[in-house]
Amino acid sequence: MDNSTDVDEDVLHFIIQNMTCPAFDFSTINGAVFITIFIISVISNVLLLCILFTFEKHNLFTYIFIINLACSDLIFAASVPFFAVYHIHHWIFGDFLCKFIIWVHFSGLYSSIFVLTAMTVDRFCTVVLNNWPNNTQRKKRYTIGACVVAWLSSIGPSLYDASNMEVSDDYYCEAAFSDELGYYFQIALLILIPIAIIIFCNCAIIYTILRAAHRTRHKALSIVFCIVVAYIICWGPYNIVLLIQSKTCEELQRMNIVYNICRMLAYSHCWINPLLCMLTQKLRNHLLYIFCMRET
């Protein structure tokens, strides 16, 4: 959830090597895990989109946030194979793809958190504000507008990240210069503020449901809540690790292991989302129908 990704690992290995501090080599493991994440993500997200456009084509507006989230995950997943090759070998794709893949990577990442924030605010308006706005057409315009804003808001920061990348020594795709102020500004704007909005909205939703005289089952809320929790579980540890500073060889060795494990978990969010979405009874029935048709 930040603009460091693979650059952090390069810096970590550089420090360890210069301290003659041997570190466990995650290159092959990272490559294999990233390829697996890519395959599962593409299959699960494409399957989710196929189910929605096949069985819910007359009701697509209901799933507009899910559709946008699946597109974000697919865009993010599209960058993962390049990082797999980068870890197994080195950056062999040239300067243009170095910038372009970073742009794709962060476009998918930023758009997903903005769409997730919009989903949560939409549920907040439905439950806490009692289906505001009441006008159906106006609600459609607001929802579509929220999705457009989510995508447009992800373009600028991701372009900034991409413009800062370059290929050095024909080996690394890394940041050309360190912009600490810009980094912390992005963390606040792209991570902390959306997470704060998500937490506030979910707390208000839970409070409203618990104090209601007649509690209604909100199945859609359960899915949104699960997606939010999964996102925080996946990306939270990774971002916490990036804030930890290690000085001794022993600490750096441990940090190398923890960092790589947390990053694998973080990248896994792009296939966890569609699986959570398909847990709803309706989409699960559509999925079972597809498999039953194939068997017959």
Task: Determine contact, residues 2/239, Cβ cutoff 8 Å.
Answer: yes
Would you tell me how many other CB atoms lie within 10 Å of the CB of residue 217? 8
* Alpha carbons 201 and 192: distance in angstroms, whole number: 14
Sequence-distant (6+) residues with CB within 8 A of 177 are 164
Please state the domain extents for the chain: 5-121+133-197+218-295
Cα Rg, the chain, nearest whole Å: 21
Contact 268, 39 (CB under 8 A): no
Element (H, E) at 32: helix 27-55
Q: What is the mean pLDDT of residues 194-204?
A: 91
Fold of 5-121+133-197+218-295: Rhopdopsin 7-helix transmembrane proteins (1.20.1070)
Question: In angstroms, rounded to a whole number, what is the distance separating the alpha carbons of residues 254 and 23?
Answer: 9
pLDDT in tens, 44-81: 999 999 999 988 888 888 899 999 999 999 999 999 99
pLDDT the model gives residue 71: 97
Q: What is the predicted pLDDT for the residue at 219?
A: 62
pLDDT at site 217: 55
Condensed to tens digits (0 to 9), the pLDDT of residues 96-133 reads 999 999 999 999 999 999 999 999 999 898 888 887 77
Q: In angstroms, what CA-CA distances link 91 with 66, 113, 174?
A: 33, 28, 10
Q: Model-level pTM?
A: 0.86
Quick: pLDDT tens for 244-264. 877 788 888 888 899 999 999
- Position of tokens 């070998």? 89
Beta bridge partners of 173: 167
Please state, for a pLDDT cut of 90, what percent of the chain lies above it.
42
pLDDT for position 183: 72
Contact between 75 and 104 (Cβ < 8 Å): yes
Cβ–Cβ < 8 Å for 266, 1:
yes
Exposed, middle or buried by CB within 10 Å (0-12, 13-18, 19+), for 151?
A: middle
Phi first, then psi, for residue 174 (nearest 5°) are -145, 170
Average pLDDT, the chain: 84
